[in-house]
Every structure is written in C-alpha cells, then in structure tokens.
Amino acid sequence: MFQKTKRQMKRMFSAKKVQMLTLMLLCGTTAVMAQNSAGDYSAGTTALATVTEEIAKYVPVMVKLCYAIAGVVAIVGAISVYIAMNNEEQDVKKKIMMIVGACIFLIAAAQALPMFFGIGA
C-alpha cells in the first residue's frame, strides 16, 4: 500500500509539474506586486496635457506652411506646364492634373489639420 501511494505521489508531483507550478506562482506574485506598486498616474497625465497644448500652438503655423507649399507647387507647376506647352510635349494634360491634384491635397490637408488635433481654426 505504501509503495502504491509513493508511486502515485511521484506521478502527481513530477519535476516538470513542480517547475511549472513554481513558475506560475512566481509570475502571478510578480504581476500582483506590479499591480499594487503602480500608483499615481497624474504626472503622466499632466505631461500629456502639456504636450497637447504645445502641439496646438504649432497648428496655425503648419496650416500656413501647407498653404505656402501649395503656392510654390502651383507656381513651379505653372512654369513647368508653360515650358511643356511651348515644347509641344504630349503629356501636358497629365502634368496639369498632377499639379492641380497636389495643390488640392495640400489645401485639404491644411483645412483638415486643425480638425485632426481638435482645434477650431
């Protein structure tokens, strides 16, 4: 009877099972300790609020920059189209469409930027 109980105990508490149980208890204890030591998040919240305010200050500058880039693209594109038309190139319509598309994108991006950051501009 004693031998039978001893064999059952060996099967029930094999080395791998004991190692796995120890690992699980150790990980669980570490997770609980980490949860309990996680404390006040007010410093992180304050830092995020500060960063949000600083980014909001740059949005009007970025909007004006987008408009300026759109203007430069339009001027350079108009000159490029003029040269292409004087040289009687075949892809003039393609150039015009690309330049108009780029300008529309830049203007739309300038309009959407304040909305993306939740700023009424």
Span 53-76, pLDDT tens digits: 888 888 899 999 999 999 999 999
Q: Residue 105: count other Cβ atoms within 10 Å of its Cβ.
A: 13
> What is the tens place of the pLDDT at every residue in 11-23?
666 667 767 667 6
Q: Residue 73: count other Cβ atoms within 10 Å of its Cβ.
A: 17
pTM higher than 0.85: no
- Provide the percentage of residues in the chain whose pLDDT is more than 70: 67
Q: Is the model more confident about 45 or about 89?
A: 89
